[in-house]
Amino acid sequence: MKKIITISLLASFLFAGNLFVRCAGCHGAKAEKHALGVSKVIAELNATEIETALNGYKAGTFGGPMKGVMKGQVKDLNETQIKSLALYISKLGKQK
């Protein structure tokens, strides 16, 4: 059972890397940029902060000037994808 969970988590993490490709255009390959010169550096946020932001963008309840752009980026993501993506991004800032 432990192996199944580990493999599932690894697959989810790799899938999140594929999801991040569309984020990297504005946020940078390591999430190290201020997107369009406006956003926070998302690699500095923890997974909970990122997940909250992504869910808020999806619901239209979060964000300032980038709210419209981000809503379009996350509208098709489900809860599992958002959690995986948030974890993936939070780990990017910790890589050397």
What pTM value is reported for the model? 0.80
Own/partner pairs, 20-29, CB within 8 angstroms, 24+ separation: 20/85, 20/88, 20/89, 20/92, 22/73, 23/73, 23/85, 23/89
Are 36 and 55 spatial neighbours (Cβ–Cβ below 8 Å)? no
What's the structural domain count of the chain?
1
**Structural domain of 86:** 2-92
pLDDT tens digits along 8-26: 444 555 556 678 998 999 9
Handedness of CA 67, 68, 70, 76 (dihedral sign): positive
Query: pLDDT band at residue 5, thresholds of 50, 70 and 90?
Result: very low
Residue whose pair of structure tokens reads 């239209």 in the numeric block = 60
Tell me what pLDDT residue 85 has. 94
The CATH code of the domain that includes 28 is: 1.10.760
pLDDT digits (tens, 9 = 90+) for 30-46: 999 998 888 899 999 99
